[in-house]
């Protein structure tokens, strides 16, 4: 697999010239999630999955060098039922693992972290199968993904200094780096088979 530094460099290159659009996607996504969360939490439960599927799908297409439009953020609503169930089941499983202790919940969140990418690539797959596929895909690679996230720690600290505004620029950088991680892992596992 590629080094994490190479995944980050690829993300910077893919964002070149399109930062404002990516920041706009993060901003609209954040506003929609915030509004949905404000509706007694039930709103986020209903639209969180489709929004996440559209959000991760947008950056996955970008990682592949495909043309993406602002409206692609809402593509997850085309697969509403499965995206809803994936968001629900993933949340339940992570909460249940977290009840054992905080660390198992974190580990499982990394295990399930590729599920929305997998569902985007396999729209006919059911939610539980996407979670299972992510868990299998991440077997032996959770530490590498953790280190990828850890490599952004300095940027996260800078975002705190900007009262969170810097997160609008950091989020597309991180999400696109994780999209590149998924693409690289998928390619290597396909080649190994």
Domain ranges of the chain: 4-183
Question: Does position 120 have pLDDT exceeding 70, yes or no?
Answer: yes
SS3 17: coil
Angle between helices 80-100 and 42-63 (to 10 degrees): 100
Do 28 and 142 contact (CB within 8 A), yes or no? no
From CA 66, how far away is CA 64, in angstroms rounded?
5
Question: Does position 122 have pLDDT exceeding 70, yes or no?
Answer: yes
Least confident of 39-48, 147-156, 160-169, 172-181: 39-48
- Predicted pLDDT at 160: 93
Question: Does position 62 have pLDDT exceeding 90, yes or no?
Answer: yes
- Token pair of 110, please? 């990394």
Do 23 and 169 contact (CB within 8 A), yes or no? yes
| Mean of all residue pLDDT scores within the chain | 95
Least confident of 51-55, 61-65, 163-167: 163-167
Q: E strands, the chain, where?
A: none
- Predicted pLDDT at 190: 87
Question: Does position 47 have pLDDT exceeding 70, yes or no?
Answer: yes
- Predicted pLDDT at 100: 84
Question: Does position 40 have pLDDT exceeding 70, yes or no?
Answer: no
pTM of the predicted model over 0.75: yes
Task: Work out the average pLDDT over 95-112.
Answer: 92
């Amino acid at each position: 697999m590629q080094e994490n530094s190479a995944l980050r460099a690829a993300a910077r290159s893919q964002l070149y010239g399109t930062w404002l659009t990516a920041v706009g996607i993060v901003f609209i996504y954040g506003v929609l999630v915030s509004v949905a969360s404000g509706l007694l939490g039930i709103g986020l439960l209903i639209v969180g999955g489709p929004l996440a599927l559209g959000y991760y799908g947008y950056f996955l297409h970008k990682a592949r060098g495909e043309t993406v439009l602002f409206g692609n953020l809402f593509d997850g609503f085309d697969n509403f039922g499965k995206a809803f169930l994936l968001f629900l089941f993933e949340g339940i499983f992570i909460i249940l693992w977290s009840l054992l202790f905080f660390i198992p919940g974190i580990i499982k969140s990394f295990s399930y972290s590729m599920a929305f990418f997998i569902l985007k690539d396999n729209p006919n797959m059911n939610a539980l199968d996407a979670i299972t596929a992510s868990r299998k895909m991440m077997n032996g690679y959770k530490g590498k993904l953790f280190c990828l996230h850890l490599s952004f720690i300095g940027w996260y600290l800078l975002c705190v200094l900007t009262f969170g505004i810097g997160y609008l620029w950091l989020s597309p950088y991180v999400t696109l780096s994780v999209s590149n991680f998924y693409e690289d892992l998928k390619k290597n596992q396909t080649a190994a088979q």
